Amino acid sequence: MDFDKLIIVTNKQSQTEQPNYFLRNLKDNSTKAITAFADPQPGMRGIVKQKITYKRKDGVDLAADLYLPKNYDAKIDGPLPVMMWAYPREFKSAADAAQLRGSKYTFTRVGYGSIVFWATQGYAIMDNTEFPIVGEGDKQPNDNFVEQLTWSAEAAINKIAEMGVGDSSRVAVGGHSYGAFMTANLLAHTNLFKAGIARSGAYNRSLTPFGFQNEERTYWQAPEVYFAMSPFAFANKIKTPMLMIHGEADNNPGTFPIQSERLYNAIKGHGGTVRFVQLPFESHGYAARENILHMLWEQHQWLEKYVKKGGGMYVK
């Protein structure tokens, strides 16, 4: 950069353009490319990304990144099976929760944990689906955590069904860490989903008694909140098929592997449909090629068996 000459380095990208760096002269608005990175994932091209917005029943504005398969036409191909991926966040005002985050103009590029892969497999993907937990005034966000999860899930499913691109009877939900915790709660308290994927989550809040996420009250100060938010306490109600994945060496203090081990045993003991996969030597995030490929395989098998089998398969 040269501030005296008004020359700066900028990054440019779009849905179809790989991010690259440019020298931009602010005096004459000219640009010169200084990188020419090739597309690292050409198999993802053609996927259509949209930023969709909608409201839930209490009036809070929500949003999600919607990805649709290449060459998909809703009028010809009909509604698709849906995979919804999310991570709940707490807010003290509905206005803050409703802020639009992210952009529909970014280049689609996925990491190992992304669910966007499945847009290439005939699914409609709702990524970064907003699940805000709002507590205004004297109320704390977690005082009605499960109800707010339900409102957000219902609104998201209704939106994608109204658009004609998603089959409301074939929707899966999933998440990592606090998103896995969300997933287990949704499967315990609703019948909205055909399947769930929960990775590296915490499910018994008595095992995190001095607070968790943005919950500052201890177990002894708000035992009813800890109980109501623990899907382990409602394991007998989890009948929707759930795939649980956890790193065998997870050292995150809120998500020790015992969380998944105990919930798996509880669901299995009550006759629920559940599969538990431990990834050797992995911590809270996953790194080994073998484990990541196995994780992707497990997720694909679960979605194909319990979600897509409920209707036709989109192939083009």
Please identify every residue annotated as catalytic: 177, 250, 284
Residues 6+ apart with CB under 8 A from 31: 10, 22, 23, 24, 25
Strand segments (E) across the chain: 7-12, 20-25, 30-33, 48-55, 61-68, 80-86, 89-91, 124-129, 132-134, 166-176, 195-199, 242-247, 274-279
Cα separation, 285 vs 86, in Å, equals 16
Indicate the residue type of 147: E
Burial 112-148 (b: 16+ CB within 10 A, else e): ebbbbbbbbbbbbbbbebbbbbbbeeeebbbebbbeb
Per the CB < 8 A criterion, the answer to whether 82 and 126 are in contact is yes
Burial 166-204 (b: 16+ CB within 10 A, else e): bbeebbbbbbbbbbbbbbbbbbbbbebbbbbbbbbbbbb
Tell me which residue has tokens 């098929």.
Answer: 241
Q: Which residues pair with 24 in a beta bridge?
A: 8, 31
Alpha helices by DSSP H, listed for 128-236, are 145-162, 178-189, 223-228
